Each structure stands twice: as C-alpha cells, then as structure tokens.
C-alpha cells in the first residue's frame, strides 16, 4: 500500500510539472505574439490560456493590455477592476487600469485608482509618473510636476519621472532642474528615442545660462542651497564660455566644476551621486568622451561622428564602461 501511494504521488507530481511546462510554453508563445504586435493571434492565444489559467495574474495583465491596444477599454476596465482587488496585485495592475480610464477620459476614476495604488505602493515611481501624466492630460501642469517630483524623490531610478520633469522645466527655462534631471535621465535611459530630446534640452539649458553674462542672475529667488551651490561653482568657469558654448568647452567647464565641487568640500555637505560619477569618469580619463556623448549629437551628429572617428580609443573605452555599468542612484539625495 505504501508503494501504491508513493506511485500515485509521483504520477500527480509528474502531471503537475507537465501542466506547468505546458502553461509556460503556451504563455511564452502568446506573449511573443503580443510583443510582435500580432494582436489578432495574440488575443486568440490568450483567450485559450484564460480558459484553463484564468487565475494567472500575468495572463490577466497581458489580456488587459491587449484590450487597451485594440481600443476595447470597457473590457479592459472590467478585468482591471478585478485585478487590483487581488492580494497579489502589483503596480502594473493599477497602471493598466489607469490606462484604460485615461483612454476613455474617465479622469476621476483614474485618479482614484492611482490614489489607491499609492496606499499600497507609497514609493512607486511608476504610479507617480502616471499621476503626473494624468494631470498633464487635464492641462493641470502645476499638479503634474508635483507628482513627477514626488516620483523622483520616491524612486530615484525610475526614468520616466525625470523625462517628464525635464520636458516641463525646459519649457519654463528652469536651467538647474533641466540640467540635473536631464543628466540623471540620460544615465538611466541612455539609448532610447527619448534620449535625443533630453540631450538637446540639457545643452540648451547650458546655452541659456552662459548667454546671461551676470552669474547673479542665474540663481532664482526660490533656489535651494543645492541649486545655489551648483551655480556658484559653475560661475567660476564663465571665462571658458566667452566664445559661446560647444561640446569641447562644455567638457572643460564641467571638468572645472567637478574639481571645484570636491575641492571645496561641497560633496560632503551636499552629497550627490551624479557628481561622484562625473569625478570617477574624470579620474579614469573618460570624461571628455562622456561629455561628447552628452552634447555632441545635440549640436551636430556629423561633427560628433568625426570626433568619435578621431578619438576612437577614448570613445570605445567610454562605450565599454557605459555598457558594463548599471547606474543606480542612491535614495535620500533628493534636493528641492
């Protein structure tokens, strides 16, 4: 009898593993169709999966996403509302339901979803970014930027809050926030379609700064201690910009900034990992290549290509380091 029950247990375990393997294969195939954009076949594949695995959160999330893509927002919301009530609901569940509400301009319902999400995930950069975009959709930019700022403070490594904040601050010519948030974004999201917009915004902010010849006018009346320290240090290199701004003298300006920032001990009073990163690149002989990567394409892609071709070892060394280094900004270094 003992061996009989052991055999039964073995068979049940084997069947369970086989079923799991079968599910994994079917899910991978369906997900691949979704990623390829074949929504008709993907919808059919997920419909089949739901018949046997309707409790799978990953299947439900993909199902909601498909319905959003095919503009079936009612069905997406129906499933989404059920998803966010589950104990295992993650940030993406709330994000997807919010997307369906935004698509139908049900902004009040969408706002309620995000508020509920933040009670469960108070440090969610994803949800703060969605709240900001909801504010922007309603043309309430003051509310939107508050959400993006909270997202940056709560999750220093979620890039979309930086992107949206830079687009906002560049519009209102807040040069400090454009530069700081822009460079942080570029180190989190280095080679996406959004990167070109941010590189241009950061470069333009430096141009605006040095177009104003009196450094006293660089600092806003509401500037924080960090912003004041930034501009005070940057003003020491004003002579380097007498002939205008370009990638070459920006590299010199920013080198002087790094050296002065650390020599004066500001890094101890106002620790900021981005500046530590710049210092490391300077010490390793990679800072010129980094600055060319930052500003060259914003000025002239042709000129940047020439620089890379004539400085191939520098460019290759920086690219190798960049590809092997995952940027992680520490928490607690948020300055208003």
Q: What per-residue confidence (pLDDT) applies to 24?
A: 87
Q: What per-residue confidence (pLDDT) applies to 238?
A: 95
Q: What per-residue confidence (pLDDT) applies to 107?
A: 98
Residues of the chain with pLDDT under 70: 1-21
Q: What per-residue confidence (pLDDT) applies to 11?
A: 32
- Residue 219 burial class via C-beta count within 10 angstroms: exposed 0-12, middle 13-18, buried 19 and up: middle
- Provide CB contacts within 8 A for 10, sequence distance 6+: none
Q: Are 178 and 205 in contact (CB under 8 A)?
A: yes
CATH superfamily of domain region 26-107: Tetratricopeptide repeat domain (1.25.40.10)
pLDDT tens sequence across 289-323: 999 999 999 999 999 999 999 999 999 999 999 99
332: left (phi over 0), alpha (psi -120 to 50) or beta: left
Nearest CA to 78 out of 97, 59, 95 is that of 97
**DSSP of 95-106, one letter per residue?**
HHHHHHHHHTT-
**DSSP of 213-252, one letter per residue?**
--GGGGS-TT--HHHHHHHHHHGGGGGGGTT---HHHHHH
Report the C-alpha gap between 307 and 130 in whole angstroms.
39
Q: What per-residue confidence (pLDDT) applies to 3?
A: 40
Q: What per-residue confidence (pLDDT) applies to 315?
A: 97
Q: Which residue has the tokens 């180190």?
A: 187
Q: What per-residue confidence (pLDDT) applies to 132?
A: 98
Q: What per-residue confidence (pLDDT) applies to 21?
A: 52
**DSSP of 64-91, one letter per residue?**
HHHHHHTT-HHHHHHHHHHHTTSTT--H
Report the C-alpha gap between 63 and 158 in whole angstroms.
25
User: Which pTM was predicted?
Assistant: 0.90
């Amino acid at each position: 009898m003992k061996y009989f029950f052991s055999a039964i247990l073995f068979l049940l375990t084997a069947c369970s593993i086989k079923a799991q393997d079968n599910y994994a294969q079917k899910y991978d195939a369906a997900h691949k169709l979704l990623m390829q954009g074949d929504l008709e076949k993907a919808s059919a594949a997920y419909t089949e999966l739901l018949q046997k695995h309707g409790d799978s959160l990953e299947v439900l999330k993909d199902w909601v996403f498909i319905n959003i893509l095919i503009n079936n927002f009612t069905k997406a919301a129906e499933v989404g509302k059920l998803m966010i009530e589950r104990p295992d609901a993650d940030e993406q569940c709330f994000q997807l339901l919010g997307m369906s509400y935004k698509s139908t301009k049900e902004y009040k319902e969408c706002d309620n979803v995000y508020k509920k999400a933040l009670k469960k995930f108070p440090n969610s950069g994803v949800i703060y970014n969605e709240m900001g975009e909801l504010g922007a959709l309603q043309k309430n930019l003051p509310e939107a930027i508050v959400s993006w700022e909270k997202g940056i403070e709560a999750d220093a490594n979620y890039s979309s809050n930086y992107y949206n904040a830079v687009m906002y601050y560049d519009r209102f010519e807040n040069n400090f926030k454009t530069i700081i948030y822009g460079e942080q974004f570029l180190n989190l999201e280095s080679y996406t379609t959004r990167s070109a917009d941010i590189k241009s915004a950061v470069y333009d902010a430096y141009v605006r700064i040095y177009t104003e010849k009196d450094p006293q006018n660089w600092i806003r009346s509401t500037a924080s201690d960090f912003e004041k320290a930034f501009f005070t240090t940057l003003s020491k290199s004003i002579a380097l910009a007498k002939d205008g701004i370009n990638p070459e003298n920006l590299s010199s300006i920013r080198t002087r900034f790094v050296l002065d920032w650390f020599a004066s001990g500001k890094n101890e009073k106002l620790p900021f990992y981005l500046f530590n990163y710049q210092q490391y690149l300077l010490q390793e002989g990679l800072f010129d290549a980094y600055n060319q990567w930052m500003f060259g394409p914003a000025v002239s892609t042709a000129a940047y290509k020439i620089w890379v071709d004539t400085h191939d070892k520098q460019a290759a060394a920086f690219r190798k380091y960049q590809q092997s280094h995952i940027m992680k900004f520490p928490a607690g270094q948020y300055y208003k």
